[in-house]
Amino acid sequence: MSTTRRTFLGGALGAGVALTAPGCGIDLLPGQTGEVLRSEARLPEPFTVPLPVPPVKKPVRTAGGVDYYQVVQREAETEILPGLRTKVLGYDGLFPGPTFDVRSGRGVVVEHVNRLAVPTSVHLHGGHTPAASDGWPLDLVLPQGYQQDQGHGSHGASNVSQVRREHTYPNSQRAATLWYHDHRMDFTAPQVYRGLFGLHLIRDAEEDTLPLPHGDREVPLVIADRAFAADGSFRYPALDPSLRNTPGVENDYMEGVLGDVVLVNGAPWPMLEVDAARYRFRVLNASNARRYELELDPGPAKLVQIGSDGGLLDKPIEHDTVVLAPAERFDLVVDFSSYPVGTEVTLVNRIGQDSTARVMRFKVARKASDDSAVPARLSSYQPLRVPKGAVRRKWIFQRGNIDNHKGWLVNGKQFDPSRMEARPKLDGYEVWSFVTDVHHPVHVHLSPFQVISRGGTKPGPYDAGWKDTVDIRPAEVVEVLVRFREHKGKYLIHCHNLEHEDMAMMAAFETT
Query: From the CB of 251, what's the least distance to ligand C2O, in Å?
Result: 23
497 binds Cu ion (CB under 5 A): yes
Please give the single-letter amino acid code of residue 79. Answer: E
End-to-end CA, the chain: 33
Site string for ligand C2O, 421-460 (x = CB under 6 A): ----------------------x-x---------------
Strand partners, 422: 509
Contact region with Cu ion (CB under 5 A), list: 184-192, 234-242, 268-276, 495-503 = 495-503
Angle at 63 between CA 59 and CA 66, to 5 degrees: 65
Which residues touch 227 (CB under 8 Å, ≥6 apart)? 36, 37, 38, 39, 234, 235, 236, 257, 259, 260, 261
Query: From the CB of 103, what's the least distance to Cu ion, in Å?
Result: 21
Contact region with ligand C2O (CB under 6 A), list: 77-85, 151-159, 328-336, 490-498 = 490-498
Please give the single-letter amino acid code of residue 247. Answer: P
Contact region with ligand C2O (CB under 6 A), list: 114-122, 288-296, 346-354, 489-497 = 489-497
Shorter beta-carbon distance to Cu ion: residue 445 or 467: 445
Contact 19, 399 (CB under 8 A): yes
487 binds Cu ion (CB under 5 A): no
Shorter beta-carbon distance to ligand C2O: residue 295 or 502: 502
Query: From the CB of 508, what's the least distance to ligand C2O, in Å?
Result: 11
Query: From the CB of 410, what's the least distance to ligand C2O, in Å?
Result: 13
Q: What region does 192 belong to: left with phi over 0, alpha with psi -120 to 50, or beta?
A: alpha
- Residues 440, 328: Cα–Cα separation, whole Å: 12
494 binds ligand C2O (CB under 6 A): yes
Contact 226, 37 (CB under 8 A): no
Contact region with ligand C2O (CB under 6 A), list: 80-88, 92-100, 434-442, 491-499 = 491-499
The dihedrals phi and psi of 293, each to the nearest 5 degrees, come to -125, 100
- Residues 42, 40: Cα–Cα separation, whole Å: 7
Of 289, 272, 368, 286, residue with least CA distance to 328: 286
290's contact among ligand C2O, Cu ion, none, with CB below 5 to 8 A by partner kind, is: none
- Residues 449, 174: Cα–Cα separation, whole Å: 14
> Of the candidates 224, 374, 492, 503, which one interacts with ligand C2O according to CB under 6 A?
492
Subset of 420-459 contacting Cu ion (CB under 5 A): 440, 445
467 binds ligand C2O (CB under 6 A): no
Contact 415, 136 (CB under 8 A): no
200 binds ligand C2O (CB under 6 A): no
The dihedrals phi and psi of 116, each to the nearest 5 degrees, come to -90, 180
Query: CA-based diameter of the chain, in Å?
Result: 68
What are the DSSP E strand ranges found in 382-476?
Answer: 391-402, 405-410, 420-422, 429-436, 440-444, 449-454, 469-472
Site string for ligand C2O, 252-271 (x = CB under 6 A): --------------------
Contact region with ligand C2O (CB under 6 A), list: 110-118, 274-282, 385-393, 492-500 = 492-500
Query: From the CB of 378, what's the least distance to Cu ion, in Å?
Result: 24
CA distances from 505 to 18, 19, 46, 101, 181 (A): 15, 13, 35, 31, 18
495's contact among Cu ion, ligand C2O, none, with CB below 5 to 8 A by partner kind, is: Cu ion
327 binds ligand C2O (CB under 6 A): yes
Contact region with ligand C2O (CB under 6 A), list: 60-68, 384-392, 424-432, 488-496 = 488-496
Contact region with Cu ion (CB under 5 A), list: 15-23, 104-112, 269-277, 493-501 = 493-501
Element (DSSP H or E) covering residue 208 = helix 205-208
Query: From the CB of 397, what's the least distance to Cu ion, in Å?
Result: 6
Subset of 128-187 contacting ligand C2O (CB under 6 A): 181, 183
125 binds Cu ion (CB under 5 A): yes
Query: From the CB of 127, what's the least distance to Cu ion, in Å?
Result: 7
The footprint of ligand C2O (CB under 6 A) covers 123, 125, 181, 183, 327, 443, 445, 492, 494, 496
